[in-house]
A and B are shown apart, each in its own frame.
Chain A
Amino acid sequence: GESVGLHLPTLSVQEGDNSIINCAYSNSASDYFIWYKQESGKGPQFIIDIRSNMDKRQGQRVTVLLNKTVKHLSLQIAATQPGDSAVYFCAENMRSGGGADGLTFGKGTHLIIQP
């Protein structure tokens, strides 16, 4: 079965609203989680990461929340802009260390920003 997945294939939000993209993972031993953004015709772009010893991490307009009890990861994007339109992937690292070593990606959620 799939070890990392997302709940919704498509999420449509109004410009200026906050977006929440969710991800479930199955391996409780996973240590490192990353959110990537992929725009059409481009490679995945790192957004934010979090390690299993943290519950929350904030970046610029983005926040990642990790709930290890229910094995759930979410990405919150504040005040979404047209440039936020993309496919968002969560990825899980079941190996020690960071980087992109042996990441397992989810299927992705397509975020659509409505004007």
Chain B
Amino acid sequence: DARVTQTPRHKVTEMGQEVTMRCQPILGHNTVFWYRQTMMQGLELLAYFRNRAPLDDSGMPKDRFSAEMPDATLATLKIQPSEPRDSAVYFCASGYSSGTGNAGELFFGEGSRLTVL
């Protein structure tokens, strides 16, 4: 079965350290989304890409977060420096959009659970 792959599944780090989370979208999908899930805020959209171009990262703290797609098979979300309030589960999701209104569903990875001490 095609699936979105995220690594690492779990990460414990200390405040101030750099954290990089990786996502391999489903082959053929051209949109990638990064969401953060916490008990208090629910699912927050951090950034998304279409055809590897960043389209909206307004939900992402710009001073410490960055998201990139070096190629079609890899999306990264980096936090530098990390803070305890960044502790959450980070989800990557991919889908296909034709750009003319196609509204395909998203396929989510299993998430990366980040704990910043």
Q: Do A and B come from one complex?
A: no
Residues on B close to A: CB < 8 A?
Answer: none
